[in-house]
Amino acid sequence: MSQALAVNQVLDSPEVVTMFDHLEQLVARSETDHTQVFETYLNEYADLAGKVINTFIPAGSHPDMGRYLYDPLTAYSENGGKRHRPLICVAAAHAVGGDHRRAFSSGAAIEHFHTAALIHDDIADDAELRRGEPCMHLRIGEGLAINAGDLALSIVNGIVMRDPLLDDATKVRVALELVSMAQYTVEGQALDIGWAKDGRYDLSLDDYFTMAIHKTAHYSGAVPLAVGAIVGGGSEEQIEGLRQFGLDTGLAFQIQDDVLNLVGTEEQTKKDFRNDITEGKPTLMVVHALQHSDDRDRLIDILSSKEKDQAVLAEAVAIMEASGSIDYARNYAENLTSIAKNRLPDMVRPSTARDLLVSMADWFVSRLK
């Protein structure tokens, strides 16, 4: 079966065609709390999104291309997490009144970019675990892992350009969005890695926000939502309104990750718990604490030492707690999502998809508590 035929079969399946009708019935029948609507959506459709995403991975012309390239990427993608980026892209298309099936290629493209970013990021950070499994570079070697990440990058724009559901003007506009997204992300990553490498402890809060918005907010929130609105035929006001909603909630998402790495209940059992301290990363809590803590010099000593001892890492967390930095980060994320939610009703009509986006913001914040 050709790749195009496989994709079309999935998109034309009743499961995809009726997904928002089904979700509306599911939520109506359940006693799901408003903040859990988005998690219900992810749980219900992550596997379906993954199925669509993986159909876009091509096959090689030689068996060993599969062994060394396509199979490792496919296996990595099959352990794909919650798929929130493609699924909010699909929700945005529906929220502006469009055919949500037109958003799956864009969502898949963004997810493959995400895959590439994670593979490369794990190598840069000398990470050991990803989604509960050894990182790809530890399983197949750095060279092959870099190559697999490069493959994921190489297919991003082609996925959109080959979508028969999109007209040429839409394809070009989406492709340009994806190019800008990639540039923003690597710019933010450069700041994140470079500041840790050089021990930059003179950073301002604005410096952190610039890094986090570029590194995470564009590709985890703003671009999926804006692109979903574009392919869904939304107005320019809706497209830009959803982009801003995504920037605000995407920044909250990055702050959430930073907080959970220090104090998350589930994260405490993971091997990379508090590795942001070990890597000397200038998270929002670190930047705030360095400006407000009486123990600034001790915190810098810990951040500079590549320390892995959990007792010392706990000392760094205690310094950030005492300076109010963790509470500051939580409150900042909550304020971001509150502002974003208040703007949303003016952008899109009432619908299950709009409720999903509101719930998305609540879901990001609820995981901070």
**Of residues 267, 227, 263, 242, the one with CA closest to residue 349:** 242
Reported pTM: 0.92
Helices (H), 18-141: 19-29, 37-55, 63-65, 71-78, 84-95, 104-124, 136-140
The percent of the chain in helix, strand and coil, each rounded to the nearest 5, is: 75, 0, 20
Which residues, including other chains, have CB under 8 Å from residue 161's CB and lie 6 or more apart? 171, 175
| pLDDT (0 to 100) of residue 242 | 96
Written as six digits, the tokens of 101 are: 């099936």
Per-residue pLDDT band for 35 (boundaries 50, 70, 90) equals low
Average pLDDT over residues 229-248: 96
Mean pLDDT of 321-333: 96
Question: From CA 143, how far away is CA 283, in angstroms rounded?
Answer: 29
pLDDT at residue 8, as a whole number: 75
* pLDDT tens for each residue of 274-297: 989 998 999 999 999 999 999 999
- Residue type (1 letter), 121: D
Mean pLDDT value of segment 65-78: 94
Both tokens of 276, joined, read 């942001």
Which pLDDT value is given to residue 34?
A: 64
In this prediction, residues 160-177 reach a mean pLDDT of: 96
Question: What are the chain's domains?
Answer: 3-366 (1.10.600.10)
